[in-house]
Structure 1
């Protein structure tokens, strides 16, 4: 059992060291006594924009986004939607191979499927598909922390059963590869692959299985410069990283779409979003994205949308 992780604030984000361009995320939430409306699992593709949230998102904050049609889906590093309003599609994620995440994975996915099929208020996806994401930053010791070999085996065990007929989806659900960080190896590291090299190794090993993994999309994460880099620098580095990820995200001869499920700058957030949101919306290889995160001081502030949040929903 890991020690409890803490709620992120703007201050803690700014104090993260440059050698680890990453932040800790709280563990999957425990069972709640609340009974929220069940979100759909198949959003419309009219907008790529989603919400990254969890149990530490301020109470009621998700409802701030419901009037905005630019937001269509959400995820919470977990397999149970908790308080996500039913207007939004929910994408379950198998956070890690730890028992706290695997023990209820199958049940939660089937519950989400059943709830989705009876939720009339949620818009149906233009393609009618449903999606599952796998391990959260397995390349980092303070997150899923899974070797490439174990990740491939875990994917085969927990994700691949949903690749075949899963009523009402006769062709199975759409499965996402592990979501890797943009950390680069540093002197003194353990020598294990990180970031896109981890993703490349995972995809290559998946292809060697007797039954190769089914992979339909590739989530990635990106965090910008911690040293007060100019806005233009972060924008350029973000675009370059997405471009590099596109080059890696080729599997069994197919170009897989990207989901940028965590990204943030530590500089001018509003200026950054104004630059990159139109670019992401127009990028043919980016299928969905979610800015980090529905948290106080990020997308929300004092019971309302922050300035950053207002830009994000616009």
Structure 2
């Protein structure tokens, strides 16, 4: 991406005993983060969704798979004949030079000036080039490291109205991306039910780094769905090997179990494996090798070629 974000993964527990999750770049780090402080008012019913005008309707037949990346040189081999991938994002709002001609989804990573100064121009440029979705802030429910935006739900709601809501008549708008933790579910509940009830939030964005148990992953997605009303879900980061020591073979098996479920589940609109980055710390999780070709995971993910 065009700004460097140090990434770390946060291990947290939730009531269903699901492990926690991480952030865009860098090696996993052990330790517990802390959420931004906020008061959670009494929960109210999720408000009725606004109906955006002039935007594409949801097409359940489209390929849902996307690429999360930082360096364009590692994504060039994912667009060949038969690919299941049809969109990409890089935790930034600007389309990187050399990116292939596929849909780029801009993200407003945080609400500080490093991200907001050029936001309106960058987001509009992406929309002009075919983007019809926008992603909200990255992991605002955690403050453990610089890869998490650390924004309380009330502040996030105010910034969402200021920076993201203005595009509501041109694109489908995504919530901030929550972690797979108890903090994440509390945060999104407060954001949707109390602080941003008047906002247009068309889909909810979530992450998962809870290991390679497919049923736990599916259960987490189903639980989040129960909290967000009629909104659809995007999973813009998930990986079975972070912190778990899972082998590449175990991650391939996890992928083979969960991808068909994601593809046939109508309320899951899009998803992206974390990530296309051959850094040594992601040996058992990257979709790409150092030579720019797909890894065994990458072949399974992008082409459904059962290697490994």
TM-score by length of 2: 0.74
Partner secondary structure for residue 139 of structure 1: coil
Q: 1:113-262 to 2 correspondence within 5 Å?
A: 113-116=127-130, 130-141=132-143, 142=145, 143-164=148-169, 172-184=170-182, 194-206=183-195, 208=197, 212-225=198-211, 231=212, 234-250=213-229, 255-262=230-237
Q: 1:47-66 to 2 correspondence within 5 Å?
A: 47-54=63-70, 57=71, 60-66=73-79
Q: Using the alignment, how far apart are the partners of 1:147 and 1:224 within structure 2?
A: 24
Q: Using the alignment, how far apart are the partners of 1:90 and 1:237 within structure 2?
A: 30
Q: Using the alignment, how far apart are the partners of 1:52 and 1:286 within structure 2?
A: 17
Distance change in 2, residues 1:157/1:62 (3 Å) = same
Query: Alpha-carbon deviations, 1:27-84, whole Å to 9, x = none?
Result: 9xxxxxxxxxxxxx98985200000111xx3x52111101043000011111012046
Q: 1:37-76 to 2 correspondence within 5 Å?
A: 46-54=62-70, 57=71, 60-67=73-80, 68-76=82-90
Query: Alpha-carbon deviations, 1:219-259, whole Å to 9, x = none?
Result: 1111123xxxxx4xx21110000000110121xxxx11101
Partner secondary structure for residue 271 of structure 2: strand
1:302 is aligned to 290
Partner secondary structure for residue 277 of structure 1: helix
1:288 is aligned to 270
Structure 1 residue 279: deviation in Å? 0.6
Q: Using the alignment, how far apart are the partners of 2:180 and 2:102 within structure 1?
A: 28
CA contact (8 A) 2:105 2:126 kept: no
Q: Using the alignment, how far apart are the partners of 2:22 and 2:161 within structure 1?
A: 28
Structure 1 residue 217: deviation in Å? 0.8
Partner secondary structure for residue 276 of structure 2: coil
Aligned CA RMSD, in angstroms, stands at: 2.6
Structure 1 residue 22: deviation in Å? 3.4
Asked whether 1:265 is paired with 2:281, we answer: no
Query: Alpha-carbon deviations, 1:128-185, whole Å to 9, x = none?
Result: x811111000001021100011011010111111113xxxxxxx3211111100123x
Q: Using the alignment, how far apart are the partners of 1:18 and 1:176 within structure 2?
A: 24
Q: Unpaired segments of 5 or more residues in structure 2?
A: 14-18, 27-54
TM-score by length of 1: 0.72
2:95 is aligned to 81
Partner secondary structure for residue 176 of structure 1: strand
Q: Unpaired segments of 5 or more residues in structure 1?
A: 28-40, 117-128, 165-171, 185-193, 226-230
Partner secondary structure for residue 129 of structure 2: helix
Single out whichever of 60-69 and 83-92 deviates more from structure 2.
83-92
Distance change in 2, residues 1:84/1:240 (3 Å) = farther
Q: Which has the higher contact order (CA 8 A, sep 6+)?
A: 2
Partner secondary structure for residue 305 of structure 1: coil
